[in-house]
Amino acid sequence: DGGITQSPKYLFRKEGQNVTLSCEQNLNHDAMYWYRQDPGQGLRLIYYSQIVNDFQKGDIAEGYSVSREKKESFPLTVTSAQKNPTAFYLCASSSGTGTDTQYFGPGTRLTVL
Amino acid sequence: AQSVAQPEDQVNVAEGNPLTVKCTYSVSGNPYLFWYVQYPNRGLQFLLKYITGDNLVKGSYGFEAEFNKSQTSFHLKKPSALVSDSALYFCAVRDTAGGFKTIFGAGTRLFVKA
């Protein structure tokens, strides 16, 4: 899992609640990503950031929000607008060059009660 | 648009036998290709990548992959499977003409029987 940490490992959310997933990296990487993983669907990109104070929507950004105030941190908020948030969430980082490899955190499993 | 396909949901192989996990891709420009492995309830771990050069790429844990441009494939291989290789394997592609995004396949679950 390299130098990327995600917390918490497990998270339970009640209907109508916003929750924030933490992602921190100490790899000095410029780029960071959030993916959602559902069984049989692979990884789908939620948001990505190529540099501090800048981020772009991925394929499934609705119901999610992010911030990138520090190079090391890229928190993801799952809002009440996300209708089916139960999933495994993976954060990744990379150097930001065209050929770079993404390095993944250990993931957060979010369950809606 | 770029895409990647892993045609097998599951691959079963006996320990000691060679294994192959298949991946095909579609891109507009030249591809950057990656293989990752995921163990239960863990993040993805990088195995190997093809950027340019030799079509046979060697990676971690004895895995290798062969880039075939004419067949647009990037199959993952290992000469002798171990029970500990049992995991979920993801192929990913980035299109050099398509910007920043990496597309992941749906994954192939590998079972190695002792």
CA of B43, closest CA in chain A: separation in Å?
4
If pLDDT is split at 50, 70 and 90, which confidence band does B101 have? confident
Query: How confident is the model over B27-85, as pLDDT tens digits?
Result: 888 889 999 999 988 889 999 999 988 999 999 999 999 999 999 999 999 999 999 99
Q: Which residue bears the tokens 């930001």?
A: A96
Q: Say if B49 is an interface residue toward chain A (CB within 8 Å).
A: yes
A1 vs A46: which has the higher pLDDT: A46
E strand or H helix at A55, and its extent? strand A54-57
- Which among A15, A25, A13 is positioned nearest to A91, based on CA atoms? A25
Q: How many CB atoms are located within 10 Å of the residue A95 CB?
A: 15
Q: How many CB pairs under 8 A join A and B?
A: 54
pLDDT of the residue at B94: 87
CA A58, CA A50: separation in Å to the nearest integer?
Answer: 12
Q: What is the pLDDT of residue B6?
A: 96
Mean pLDDT of A20-42: 93
B46-80 per-residue burial string, b: 16 or more CB within 10 A, e: under 16? bbbbbbeeeeebebeeebbbbbeeeebbbbbebee
Per residue in A49-85, pLDDT (tens digit) is 999 999 999 999 999 999 999 999 999 999 988 889 9
| Model pLDDT, residue A75 | 98
Q: Tell me the chain B residues in contact with residue A45 when contact means C-beta distances shorter than 8 Å.
A: 101-102
Tokens representing B55 are: 């079509």
Asked if B46 lies within 8 A of A101 by C-beta distance, the reply is yes
The alpha-helical segments, DSSP class H, found in chain B are none
d(CA A30, CA B44): 19
Asked if pLDDT for residue A98 goes beyond 80, the answer is no
Q: Say if residue A2's pLDDT is above 60.
A: no
Does B43 contact A50 at a Cβ distance shorter than 8 Å? no
Residues of B in contact with A40 (CB under 8 A): 9, 106-107
CB of B90 less than 8 A from some CB of A: yes
DSSP A100: P
Residues in Cβ contact with B42 at an 8 Å cutoff, skipping those fewer than 6 apart: A1, A106, A107
Best CA proximity match to B8, nearest among B59, B16, B19, B17 = B19
Residue B49 corresponds to which tokens in the numbers above?
A: 């990548």
Rounded distance between C-alpha atoms, residue A71 and residue A26, angstroms: 9
Whether residue B51 and residue A99 make contact (CB cut-off 8 A), yes or no, is: yes
At B107, the amino acid letter reads G
With 80 as the cut, is the pLDDT of residue B97 above it? no
pLDDT of the residue at B98: 64
Burial status of residue A63 (CB atoms within 10 A of its CB: 0-12, 13-18, 19 or more):
middle
Of B89, B85, B79, give the one whose Cα is nearest residue B113.
Answer: B85
Round to whole Å and give the CA distance between B101 and B51: 15
